Structure 1
């Protein structure tokens, strides 16, 4: 027994000596060498398993030096997650088969030149939610996330030119200046399929900018300061998804969506399948034909627009090729929740029965003969897709209908009357009629007074003679 105790202390002493010879690695580092998938250094502080190095939220205050990355050579990690730590600078890494590298939320302010160059297999790099003011040197990858840093410019570095295979780029949350987007004028961008520019304080999209992304499929321009649809969208012919939420666009009509060119009318976004126009603070109207040329549209999001009072009955239609009929896209999902709509026109969609999802709740509907079709036709469709959903379709006017749900009106089989006095136009008409009726006796009285005055004047004249 005593010999075993002595042997144990000898092993500890040898291990401690090895630790000091390895440049300061702890005793735990050395003992972990024998564990499956473990290496000294990094894997003593992180979890190394199944080709992944998980260092997330480990309280790290300094990025690992190159020699410690090199110690992972035999482990051959393909995924490294170092998110939610706290180190300001990224230094040179070692040659490893890393494919996914997550460095988000670490307070990073700088990346050493060529720090990622040894990672020739890297496909995904996440540097989001840091404090970068300049874009680091980049060569390889398919997906790059630089969202929510402090990038004011992309022009000086020209780093994106080298990313010949990039398919997804996220620049959201950076205070980009409109003029700085010209970095892309170098012919780069033909491989990009997803571009996110959310919350970038953009007041416009510079002309010719979008024209570089001929294969772009998804574009997010939400939460900016755009006042109209970007003109160059007609150059993004393969776009399938467009998000324009939270932009101060006042109205959509045929002039703001479809643009004239020297070749004639340019029909834009013919392949677009999903459009988001929600949470727009001053959007008031969608005019005739405004969305009619989106012939492939399947999902339309038009919700939480507090001033959206009118959507034209022909907003989703366009002239057919014969020039006589109107045609429109076969929309499958329609979301028009919590706007200021008093009614929805039956002509808005050609086939309401083909919908797979619909939500028009939270609008101040006027329940009269013009919305009778909603009670008779739309309520059954809504409830079929989602049981009892029509309970949220509530009448706001006229006063005698206020508070009733359209579901209830449908169940009692009530036919609603045409009531015009409940709206402003009706009030104006009634006031005009009252004014006209009052004007008749007033004019008669004036004429009578005039006659009396004339007669009195004649009598006075005759008496003087």
Structure 2
């Protein structure tokens, strides 16, 4: 019997069988090990990033707007930066950061944290940036930041912090920035931070700051805006030897604090109790570069105020009730000559006198301030010349002229030559238009101007108007103006509403059709920088009510309303148009010529096509070559048709040919074509 098939070798003994089984077992173990490694790699790749987070880089994790109050889990252990803002996280624990030994930045801002357990961050020994702003934290204990010896920036702004333990910042020796803005602190926190460079306590309820409370002599930037301070102790500023930037805005200061030295930036904006500055208020600020004096009660600035600030580069004087009279005229000239930038110049305007009210201060000329024009007056004086040659020589009087510049032309009586010379005194008068609103000007014994104001006015130049009951009557409401109208659009003026408004978040434009069946108003949200806006797709010959207001407060903000009507729709021209003279002739001739040309093209094309078909048919009958579609046959020297073989091989040059757009030999895949090339693509 013959056995067909593949031959196999069978084991000859039990030892061989055991070896074979061990080999299979070893192979299986290797396969299991490889499979385990692959599963681990797959797990790291698919589950290394927490749910709802993004791990764009191996060391950075972004978890934004998860709206999940629980702390995310499965954070990769090699994370350097962890962003968890706007996640509605309400609580954190020490084990929330287990395994994150390398974490350097932690952002927990804009969550709902109200309590920070003691030592909750102590595992984050390498943390350098911690942002806890915009939460609901109420207190900071002594153990809150325990273990954060490498922390450099700590942000606690916009919380509800009422108390801070005196030892809360103990151990944070490397801290560079500390921000506690917009909390509920009533006492300045005491701390010892030798390397602190920035301290921000703005907008708390801290009416006084005692000297010696800050043991941080290297502070460069101190922000204490909106605390309600009435004064700043000179000792406090003297202790901060390295202070460069000081923000005292929105307090209750009545004068510029003394002892200001070495500052490069000073902000006094919003201290409305300061109505007058002294020429030497900034005498110690030779390094000052930026000064903010906006939103105060300044009427006049003394000449020479900025004489001690040669490095000044920018100043803000916006929203002050300036009296644009002659004593302030030096300011515009100083701005022009010094090159100092006037920030918010559009908001730096005159309030008085009435002729300059509302004008931009920087645009005024010297004559606009009412300053008198200097006048030259020649005053004759008599000088006696005495000769010493002989006692009998008579004294010869000689008349000379001395030049005196005064403010107005003054008539001086002539002094007789026979009388001895005496000093001449020129009577001085008030410059014209010094006292406003009909005030009477006079000079005191020292030559200073005094104005006697008429009833209803007061002030140094009678520029202030006393309020009467009639002044409290509501002025007439300005109507919203429509700049342009068509049958389907209305262009609305927005500038009249924007003027006089401060810090508008946006505009709300409401449109309602009073003529149509659908009276539902349409609301448009517009930026506050537009000067006008056009409403499109409106109904023709319809009346619309348009109201403009602010987006800040829908119920309380007054609106500016008006009614406007769109134009009637113009009649559609009829198909039968009657025109005269050249117009009618053009309308008739042009279509006729075009139609004639088209007809001629069609006839010529038909004739050519018929002739060509006949020539092809005749050539077929005589056994001649048939011209292929898309190919022009060439002629030889005798004027006879070339052979197709010569044309196809291209043995001769100089004939014209056109390759067909689609060749049957090229249709199909690459393997079917003779040359193995795809058909030509024209796209």
Alignment of 1:337-416 (within 5 A): 337-342=318-323, 365-366=324-325, 368=326, 370-374=327-331, 378=335, 396-400=351-355, 410=365, 416=371
Give deviations 1:300-346, integer Å, cap 9, x for gaps: 111122x22244335455xxxxxxxxx4442121111221232xxxx
Q: For 2:366 and 2:279, how far apart are their aligned partners in 1?
A: 34
Equivalent residue in structure 2 for 1:293, among 274, 284, 290: 284
Residue 43 of structure 1, CA deviation: 2.2
SS at match of 1:233: helix
Alignment-derived partner of residue 228 in structure 2: 225
- Quickly say closer, same or farther: Cα 1:425–1:110, change in 2 above 3 A: farther
Residue 207 of structure 1, CA deviation: 2.4
Q: Is the 8 A contact 2:209 2:232 kept in 1?
A: no
Correspondence 1:197 to 2:198 = no
Alignment-derived partner of residue 99 in structure 1: 104
Q: For 2:279 and 2:193, how far apart are their aligned partners in 1?
A: 35
Q: For 1:276 and 1:245, how far apart are their aligned partners in 2?
A: 6
Correspondence 1:111 to 2:101 = no
Higher-strand-fraction structure? 2
Alignment-derived partner of residue 153 in structure 1: 163
Alignment-derived partner of residue 185 in structure 2: 176
Alignment-derived partner of residue 268 in structure 2: 277
Give deviations 1:24-80, integer Å, cap 9, x for gaps: xxxxxx998364xx534x523211121211111111211236xx34xx12xx11111
- Quickly say closer, same or farther: Cα 1:294–1:110, change in 2 above 3 A: same
Size of the aligned set, in residue pairs, is 341
Correspondence 1:87 to 2:78 = no
SS at match of 1:242: strand
Residue 112 of structure 1, CA deviation: 2.9
Q: For 1:294 and 1:109, how far apart are their aligned partners in 2?
A: 43
SS at match of 1:300: strand
Equivalent residue in structure 2 for 1:52, among 56, 60, 63: 60
Please provide the CA RMSD for this pair: 3.5
Q: Is the 8 A contact 1:52 1:78 kept in 2?
A: yes
**Higher RCO (CA < 8 A, seq sep 6+):** 1
Give deviations 1:360-404, integer Å, cap 9, x for gaps: xxxxx23x4x4444555645777x9699x9777655544455566
Give deviations 1:427-450, integer Å, cap 9, x for gaps: 68454999xxxxxxxxxxxxxxxx
Correspondence 1:167 to 2:158 = no
- Quickly say closer, same or farther: Cα 1:120–1:406, change in 2 above 3 A: closer
Residue 139 of structure 1, CA deviation: 2.9
Q: Is the 8 A contact 2:114 2:138 kept in 1?
A: yes
Give deviations 1:58-113, integer Å, cap 9, x for gaps: 11211236xx34xx12xx11111111121221112113211110001111012233
SS at match of 1:90: coil
Q: For 1:177 and 1:390, how far apart are their aligned partners in 2?
A: 37
Q: For 1:408 and 1:146, how far apart are their aligned partners in 2?
A: 44
Equivalent residue in structure 2 for 1:422, among 436, 444, 459: 436
Q: For 1:374 and 1:403, how far apart are their aligned partners in 2?
A: 17
Stretches of structure 1 lacking an aligned partner (at least 5 in a row): 1-29, 259-267, 318-326, 343-364, 435-465
Q: For 2:241 and 2:311, how far apart are their aligned partners in 1?
A: 20
SS at match of 1:251: coil
SS at match of 1:234: helix
Larger Rg: 2
> Which deviates the most, 221-230 or 110-119?
110-119
Alignment-derived partner of residue 139 in structure 1: 147
Q: Is the 8 A contact 1:88 1:108 kept in 2?
A: yes
Give deviations 1:11-32, integer Å, cap 9, x for gaps: xxxxxxxxxxxxxxxxxxx998
- Quickly say closer, same or farther: Cα 1:408–1:241, change in 2 above 3 A: closer
Q: For 1:372 and 1:378, how far apart are their aligned partners in 2?
A: 11
Q: TM-score, normalised by structure 1?
A: 0.64
Equivalent residue in structure 1 for 2:251, among 247, 272, 283: 247
Alignment-derived partner of residue 336 in structure 1: 317
Q: Is the 8 A contact 1:130 1:148 kept in 2?
A: yes
Alignment-derived partner of residue 208 in structure 1: 212
Alignment-derived partner of residue 299 in structure 2: 309
Stretches of structure 2 lacking an aligned partner (at least 5 in a row): 1-39, 373-430, 443-449, 456-683
Q: Is the 8 A contact 1:95 1:119 kept in 2?
A: no
- Quickly say closer, same or farther: Cα 1:109–1:427, change in 2 above 3 A: farther
Alignment-derived partner of residue 123 in structure 1: 128
Give deviations 1:196-224, integer Å, cap 9, x for gaps: 001111101122113x1111111110111
Residue 122 of structure 1, CA deviation: 0.9
Q: Is the 8 A contact 2:370 2:434 kept in 1?
A: no
Q: For 2:342 and 2:304, how far apart are their aligned partners in 1?
A: 27
Alignment of 1:3-42 (within 5 A): 33=43, 35=45, 39-40=47-48
Give deviations 1:240-263, integer Å, cap 9, x for gaps: 1111110011222xxx413xxxxx
Residue 414 of structure 1, CA deviation: 10
> Which deviates the most, 241-250 or 82-91?
82-91
